[in-house]
Structure 1
Amino acid sequence: MINIYLAIITAFVGVLSYYLWAWTYWRRRGISGPTGYPLIGCALEMLDSENPPYLQLKEWTKEYGKVYGITEGMMKILVISEPTLVEEVFVKQYDNFYGRKLYPIQGDPNKDKLVNLFASQGHRWKRLRTISSPTFSNNSLRKLKTTVEDCALELLRHIENQTAGGKPIDLLTFYQEFTLDVIGRIAMGQTDSQMFQNPMLKYVKAVFGEPRKFIFLSGAIVPWTGPLLRKFFMSLPNIFKNPAIHIIRQVAQAVENRIAQREADEKAGIDPGEPQDFIDLFLDAKSDDVEIENNEDFTKAGIKVTRQLTKDEIVGQCFVFLIAGFDTTALSLSYSSFLLATHPEVQKKLQEEIDRECPDPEITFDQLSKLKYLECVVKETLRKYPLGAMANARRCMRATKIGNYEIEEGVDILCDTWTLHADKNIWGEDAEEFKPERWENGDEQFFQKGGYIPFGLGPRQCIGMRLAYMEEKLLLCHILRKYTLETCKKTQIPLKLIGSRTTSPETVWLNLKPRDDI
């Protein structure tokens, strides 16, 4: 009996020592940072929706400097906001940092059948990226412009109805309707507008809602339970209210319907013609037998890519484009509108440019490229409110060194984007100000310094960047030609920011005053 007790005590001490060893990882390496709590480290702070983690990073950077370490359970994370190190990780040493920071419950990116472009890595990522890239070329965007503009005009009709009598509206909710409508029509085969009646909206919004801390903490503290938890919660969506699985099922059904339609058309001798949406594009690359790649020898150069996708991968790509295309663009539009309403001189200058360059009812693709000041406004908004901060993280896949820091395999590098975008050494003493004019001499100076990464940096820069720019510019043009944005009693100044996966304003209540100068 004594031997059993001794074995239990020894095992307990061994496990405790193992976790304490992980918890003190950065301290033992002489790197400062917040220690958090035993076992969980800083995981709770990184899951706090009321105090967005990317604003918490900014506070920690003020205290510990531009390089410091944190832990989230067994995950070891080096936080950086030094531009030279950012460029080192994201560009110069991409071959050593080609994976993303992922929680164990997000699945194994090398084995998950539904893995998407965001989570995949190595050869598999390269194949998915190569197949997806034509969707976001200038030629493709020209074809999509008409659909995006239809959605913009539909939103204007809803705005006009809701603002009758001078009533303010929460533009965040309107922009969410717009972006979901756009991505539904260009990615999911949706044939007409479903604004303010789209059944998928509640599920998509829920993905960005309050995180299930217990699940994330369990996966972070005991990584081997991650795949089990994922399988358990994905298989019982109605019980555990998993919004992601509801979306995946709807996407899978849309893909199945399109496959059936294409087979029927083929039997009837109907030519499939040009791809109509993302599903068509991916089905053109479909194969029932795609060998899963081995990433051990991955380098970004010299890769021969197989241009084929499995049906599960098609579902995965449509899912991630739906999620990414919904949230970030809606947030950027919300922040832009708030900044324009609180900086009327900027708004007036922008309206003058839009009136001058876009005199006709329809706004052409080429006219959008002439709106230089609008470009400055959008870029400055993304500097002030970087949206995809959680994507600006990489996993070390091979032990290496960045600057003076030895990085072991498996360590995650997380960029403190909010600090980087407000660094006075890069942006000047007016870094805290909203100043679109700073972009009038081009942006190369900021990109070269590694100081501007709203869409990431390097080979894994956001593939949908140009589509997001086009959506935002097109909708803002139509709104500002007809209305002037003004603050109201409900406007939060400053904005209250919330969220853990992305940083969102709680609301963006504004008045849209019909213009009397047109």
Structure 2
Amino acid sequence: MEWDKKLGKIFGIYEASVPVLVTSDLDLLQEVFVNQFHAFHGRKRFPVQPDVNDSKRCSIFITVGNRWKRLRNIISPTFSTAKLKKMWPALKGCTSLFMSNVERNVKRNNNGKDTKEDTIRNTPIFKDGCEVEVYRSFSIFREKSVANVTIIPLNFHFSLLQKFTIDTFFKLAMSADVGAQGDKELPVLEACRDTFRRTSAKHMSFLPKLALIVPEVKGICRFIFHNSKRPNEDLMKAFNSNIVEQRRKLIAKGESNHFTDMVQLLIDAEQPLNDKDLLLEDEKKGFGKSSKVLSSMEVVNQLVLFLLAGYETSSTTMAYAFYLLALNPKVQAKLQEEVDKLDEEEANFDTVQEIQYLDWVIKETLRLYPIASMVTARRAMKDVEINNVKIPEGTSVLANVWSIHYNPDIWGPTDPKEFYPNRFNGKELHPMAWLPFGAGPRICIGMKFAMMEMKFLLFQFFRAYTISTTENTENPLTLSDGATTTPTNGVHLKISVRH
């Protein structure tokens, strides 16, 4: 944001040798993301990303041309409103497990035994609230004693919020129960945990940085990165053997007709694919029609991508929502008033979507904390000139999302730094004013899915609990930038049962 103030709405930087045009000019972004999408349909190149024409390694995130269009056309129906409505019963089950785990987390003693619910609810720890860290663990921060039982933090491999998002992905997108919110882990979940841990390993982050700084060794870095054991290799094998192969067996038996999830859509589209065929098709048709075919490896690649992209973003956004609602008790009270109007028995996809204030709370959270702003960049596929701005082929165009989201000319008159959900009440916004999911044809394909799971979890949670700050609550939060923007020191809050 500081550069925007000093250099203006449009300026250039270099990521090593790669030119990057950074802009908060909404009209320019409208041209890049939407009006001239044909010239900017590629995402920015990452230093050691696989060849975009290699079907064995590519996901929808990095593909371009007809290969991207084919994947988008195949996967999009998974996230249609009609399909999301069919996922609602499974989402209710996942949310119920989350709520049970939250309650159990403050009831468990150091021997792993639960105290009676009435005992907990009628003791000061729950009446007065107990301190929790909601981002990393959602567990009690300090040991406390209740009815002569010591309550201690639970040691989760993932936080409860992350377990919830993983559980919803597997159950809703794959019709698979991997025990994400339970006490036992299936092989797929173990592979997930190992992937998330190893993805941040030093040698995995060193190679991309070296390739970016010294372009001459990019080829060597890419070879080492993709031919050594990649962080998601075990996960891909687990997906293939535990999810895809099991579904194929059901298909062979004629028992897969009732599945309408992502796995089924991908497998139905699966056919042998020659990479040269799509390259030839791109040359002949440009950015035109595309054939609906998928290679076997592409099926697994898409599943891994959606898990890795979705588990952290949604869970972190919900942690930020808890934080902002704790800092703003009047907003939280208004949210509770709105969710209380809908009986739990009447809660379904349509009725929860109709709670406008809940929608505004999530949108305002994403405005203040656009956690994946760096991945929205587009790449010029040819030389382009827009409004007298020349953009050479290969240049990355990066939306200055944080400057846009905090611009008082866009979000005033209320201070843009304030958490004020009502700013979304009937306000006419430029299409590029709110960009947490990107924009245009390459907008996050899972946006509706993410909004649905976040809305229902917040709906259920704030019907039962109130969140407030403690002496350990940071204000402002210290943030760490990476693939996503995360709270460096966690989010420490107090949870109390509503009566």
2:244/2:263 contact within 8 Å kept: no
Q: Which residue of 1 aligns with 2:147?
A: none
Q: Partner amino acid for 2:476?
A: P
Q: Tell me which residue corresponds to 2:262.
A: 278
Match of 1:39 in 2: none
Moved more, 346-355 or 428-437: 428-437
Unmatched tracts of structure 1, length 5 or more: 1-57
State the alpha-carbon separation in 2 of the partners of residues 208 and 389 from structure 1.
Answer: 20
> 1:458 matched to which residue of 2?
440
RMSD: 2.2
**Matched-pair contact (CA < 8 Å) for 1:163–1:512:** no
CA distance in 2, matches of 1:299, 1:439: 39
* Contact 2:208/2:221, CA 8 A, preserved across alignment: no
Alpha-carbon distance in 1 for matches of 2:400, 2:20: 12
Which of 327, 335, 344 is matched with 2:329 structurally? 344
Aligned counterpart in structure 1 of residue 131 of structure 2, from 151, 160, 168: 168
Match 2:169 to one of 158, 174, 183: 183
Matched, 1:199 2:184: no
3-state SS in 2 of match to 1:498: strand
**2:81 corresponding residue in structure 1:** 138
Aligned to 2:403: 419
Q: Alignment length, in residue pairs? A: 445
Give yes or no for the alignment of 1:232 onto 2:224: yes
User: What is the CA distance between 1:485 and its match in structure 2?
Assistant: 1.0
1:86 equivalent among 29, 49, 65: 29
Deviation for aligned residue 1:304: 2.2
Query: 2:498 matched to 1:512?
Result: no
Which residue is equivalent to 2:470? Answer: 488
List aligned pairs for 1:273-422, cutoff 5 A. 273-290=257-274, 291-294=277-280, 295-296=282-283, 303-356=288-341, 358-361=342-345, 363-422=347-406
Counterpart in 2 of 1:18?
A: none
The 2-side partners of 1:501 and 1:194 are apart by: 23
Partner of 1:27: none
2:466·2:495 contact (CA, 8 Å) conserved in 1?
yes
Cα offsets for 1:100-122 (capped at 9, x unmatched): 00213011212352211111111
CA drift at 1:489:
2.9
Deviation at 1:89, TM superposition (A): 0.9
* Cα distance between partner residues in 2 of 1:333 and 1:261: 37
> Could you tell me how far apart the structure 2 residues matched to 1:235 and 1:107 are?
11
Distance 1:512 1:412 in 2: 44
User: Structure 2 unaligned runs (5+)?
Assistant: 108-124, 136-158
SS at match of 2:72: helix
Structure 1 residue 207 displacement after superposition: 6.6
Q: Distance in 1 between matches of 2:325 and 2:257?
A: 43
SS in 1 for 2:378: strand
Partner letter of residue 98 of structure 1? H
Match of 2:3 in 1: 60
2: distance between equivalents of 1:176 and 1:384? Answer: 21
Distance 1:107 1:151, change over 3 A: same
Aligned counterparts of 2:242 and 2:307: Cα–Cα separation in 1: 13
In the alignment, which residue of structure 1 is the partner of 2:238? 250
Partner of 2:52: 109
1:105 and 1:281 map into 2 onto residues whose CA distance is 30
CA distance in 2, matches of 1:409, 1:297: 21
- What residue is the counterpart of 2:249 in the other structure? 261
Cα contact 2:133–2:491 (8 A) shared by 1:
yes
Q: 1:467 aligns with which of 446, 449, 458?
A: 449
Q: Percent identity?
A: 34
Alpha-carbon shift at residue 366 of structure 1 (Å) = 1.4
* 8 Å Cα contact 2:465/2:495 also seen in 1: yes
Q: Which secondary structure state, in structure 1, belongs to the residue aligned with residue 279 of structure 2?
A: coil
TM-score when normalising by structure 1: 0.81
Return the match for 1:219 from 170, 191, 211: 211
Shift of 1:277: 3.1
CA positional deviation for 1:227? 4.6
| 2:154 paired residue number | none
Aligned residue for 2:434, secondary structure, equals coil
Distance in 2 between the 1:373 and 1:204 partners?
Answer: 37
Take 2:178 and 2:67, find their aligned partners in 1: how far apart are those partners? 34
Alpha carbons 1:379, 1:436 under 8 Å: kept: yes
Contact 1:188 1:251 in 2 (8 A): no
Q: 1:203 to 1:417 in 2, by over 3 A?
A: farther
CA contact (8 A) 1:400 1:408 kept: yes
Offset, 1:512: 1.7
CA apart distance, 1:208:
6.4
After TM superposition, give the deviation of residue 456 of structure 1 in Å.
Answer: 0.7
Instruction: Give the equivalent residue in structure 2 for 1:70.
Output: 13
CA deviation after TM superposition for structure 1 residue 72, in Å: 1.7
1:286 counterpart SS class = coil
CA distance in 2, matches of 1:210, 1:486: 35
Partners of 1:488 and 1:284 lie apart in 2 by: 52
Cα distance in 2 for partners of 1:207, 1:389 equals: 23
The alpha-carbon distance between structure 1 residues 207 and 371, as it changes in their structure 2 partners (threshold 3 A), is farther
- Closer, same or farther in 2 for the Cα pair 1:281/1:224, shift >3 Å? farther
Residues 134 and 319, structure 2, Cα contact 8 Å, conserved in 1: yes
Deviation at 1:145, TM superposition (A): 1.4
The separation in 1 between residues aligned to 2:285 and 2:404, in whole angstroms, is: 30
2:69 to 126, 130, 144: 126
